Structure 1
Amino acid sequence: MKYLTIFSLLAFITLFSSSCDNDFNINDDWADITVVYGLLDPAADTNWIRVQRAYLGEAAASASYGEPDSVYYDTTAISVYLEAYSRGADGSLGTPVNTIFLKPDFTSRKLDDGIYSTDDFRLYRTTETIEEDKTYKLVVEKSNAKHPEASSITEIVGIQQSSNSGFRFVLPNPNVIAARTFNGNLKWYQSDQAEIYEVDVYFYYKEVNRQTGAVEHLVQKLDYTTIEGAQIPADPFETIDVDGSPNNIYTLLASNLPELKPNTLRFFKSFTVIIWAGGEDLAKYIDLNRPTEGVNNSKPEFPDIENGTGLFSSRTSIMLDEVAMSQQMATTYYLSSTLCEKGFAIVTSGDTCYCERIPGIGPERVCD
């Protein structure tokens, strides 16, 4: 028994020591991997594409944070351009009808200081028109023939080329100023190629100090709603309807507004409503980057960029500003239970009226 114990111990030591002699390399072979982020907008005067590179080294990743050539290509090492195609009847691309070379821009956009180097940061831009009825291919061509070019293709989310004569507001009514009011309900015609819509509502208001009379003009952005997937009607001629209510707005305001300053009243000025329409790959990208629920945390790979990673898609937007509250909402919003402590007021018949919560009674109108 003693000999067996000694033999087992020697065998364990031999096995352990021999395994320590085998180095395990956790790094893969180096490869040139392009990182691309870009959303083409046919309504924009300038379109921007971010082109960088992934890096890999034997040292810790932090050893390369401060090295510009770890994350940025030299401008002589790549050419970045867009090829425009008119798809054939069978959906094929054929040959490009236009090529747009993007210019590196070092000054228009600045990065905040952080752990990564901001030296040599650049974007690639073009001011040429992005045509809504074309398909665009982004190409990042390398001067080193051993490094494969990166590319990606997107359709264009348009405003004018929609099947129903345009991506446009129906409600609020954009054509009649008196009818340009918002009470939570929205309606718009769809955009071709759009697979996701996001609605941003900007709430403009002013704060008045009751003691000094000082006025401050402010704005609060409200992430109003997202429409995607089965929520989008299959018929492109059908409008998208958002059945909201004043309470939706009140709840968003109550949770987003900063704390009310002492001796201050707030007065509503106007809304601005912006509807963003995004392409198919943008919708997929947003969906894949949402928090995973359930036991299975694995996510499918997002195969948007050939020989690279990132996102290349399209988006556009429509905007309606100087939007008023509906008449009923404008005279009662400050008295809602949700907003009573938020300091909103209205001026009526020369009096300033605001809300106070009376114990045992609830929100009450007070005028002085």
Structure 2
Amino acid sequence: MSMNSIKIFFSLVLSVLLFNSCEKEVNINADWEDITIVYGLINPNDSVSYLRIEKAYLSDGDIFQDAQIADSNLYKNFLEVEIYSNNKTIVFDTITIFNKEDGIFYAPRMQVYYAVTKNQLNTNDIYKLKVTNPESGKKITSETKLIDASHISFDYPNYSVSFVNDKEIIFNAIKGALYYQLNIRFHYTEGIISGNDTSFSAEYVDWVFPAIYSSDDLGGEELEIPYFGEEFYANLNSHIPHINNVIRYGGQAELIISSADRTFQTYLDLNKPSNSIVQDRPAFTNINNGYGIFASRSVGGKMVSLNSKSEKKLVDDYPDLKFQF
């Protein structure tokens, strides 16, 4: 609904309230309509795939309060959900997750649809989604072509990475993807000293970069993500606790590239915050007979060591972190 439409709408409501003294109640809600909302990003390398499937709802009160009520969002009956290609059909079932972050919708428990997809998805296939409501007979469909970043190639770094200087992570785009986001994950081992005992655990710190886009989805394009070396150390210094009874052994840096297809990139572009005074934007969906998104994503990367100068800088310049190599 446009801003002008909203203004006209509320002007009409105000007119009714002011001039129609016989009408005691005004119902500004339209008749309820069954609108299915689907969100799904399929990764061929995931052991388990999840789909969020819910319904739109009407509210006579605060829509944000009603969003916190599971019954407002969920179908009361079980939906038949499957994805299929030419060779295989995968059936989804319901499961409740308990770690959804707080937000507009109900949390931390949330019902989703899931299927075990380990070694079940072929990256060369187009997968079609079909959701059937057995009570109404309504069918919702979509499709996506899978992408695979598991073998993404890097031009830099090869075996070791430097954070003493400012450099670029250089890698090659994969076929079918437009969206790329880098996360540099530094792994280390932490030992908490308690008397004569030391308890060790594997830890890591993430350094997430803004997403970039390739110029097309044909694959092979060389992409660069620049970084400032000092920010690597500043990120570690701000996220790792400064405590006395600890020893830490530095490990490797994991370069993680998350990628997604053109559908996901278009969805993000149309839903990102706008600085324009024109707030009306087209609603994007690739769900037939519903709303939402069904798209492909994939994650790839490699492990590299810090070069000797980078290790020395971490030990010498940040003694409070108590790192050894």
Relative to the length of structure 1, the TM-score reads 0.68
Q: 2:94 aligns with which of 105, 121, 139?
A: 105
Q: Assess, with a 3 A threshold, how the Cα gap between structure 1 residues 264 and 297 changes in structure 2: closer, same or farther.
A: farther
* Percent of aligned positions that are identical: 21
Residue ranges of structure 1 left out of the alignment (5+ in a row) = 1-14, 85-96, 161-165, 174-178, 348-368
How far 1:240 sits from its partner (Å)?
2.0
Distance 1:16 1:117 in 2: 37
Where in structure 1 do 4 or more consecutive aligned residues deviate above 6 Å?
Answer: 117-120
Distance 2:186 2:99 in 1: 28
Q: Assess, with a 3 A threshold, how the Cα gap between structure 1 residues 201 and 150 changes in structure 2: closer, same or farther.
A: same
Q: 2:179 aligns with which of 192, 196, 203?
A: 196
RMSD: 3.5
1:94-119 alpha-carbon deviations (Å, 9 max, x no partner): xxx24524231326x33559784888
Please show how residues 221-300 of structure 1 align to structure 2 within 5 Å. 221-229=206-214, 232=215, 236-255=219-238, 257-262=239-244, 266-300=248-282
Match of 1:142 in 2: 133
Relative to the length of structure 2, the TM-score reads 0.76
Contact 1:48/1:126 (<8 A) preserved? no
Q: 2:41 aligns with which of 39, 42, 57?
A: 39
How far 1:150 sits from its partner (Å)?
1.8
Match of 1:350 in 2: none
Instruction: Provide the aligned length of Structure 1 versus Structure 2.
Output: 300
1:157-207 alpha-carbon deviations (Å, 9 max, x no partner): 1248xxxxx53334333xxxxx24454542222211111111112112345
1:254-312 alpha-carbon deviations (Å, 9 max, x no partner): 44x14412465655222222111111122223333433224333333112222222221
Please show how residues 82-93 of structure 1 align to structure 2 within 5 Å. 82-84=83-85
1:39-94 alpha-carbon deviations (Å, 9 max, x no partner): 1112223322222222225455546854547513522xx3212232xxxxxxxxxx
Larger relative contact order (Cα-Cα within 8 Å, sequence gap ≥ 6): 2
Distance 2:194 2:109 in 1: 49
Q: Which amino acid aligns with 2:145?
A: E
Larger Rg: 1
Matched, 1:171 2:156: yes
Distance 2:40 2:275 in 1: 28
Matched, 1:318 2:295: no
Q: 1:220 aligns with which of 185, 205, 218?
A: 205
Residue ranges of structure 2 left out of the alignment (5+ in a row) = 1-15
Distance 1:117 1:335 in 2: 44
Q: Which amino acid aligns with 1:169?
A: F
Matched, 1:74 2:80: no
Match of 2:115 in 1: 125
Q: Which amino acid aligns with 1:303?
A: T
Q: Which amino acid aligns with 1:153?
A: E
Distance 2:59 2:180 in 1: 40
Q: Assess, with a 3 A threshold, how the Cα gap between structure 1 residues 209 and 302 changes in structure 2: closer, same or farther.
A: same
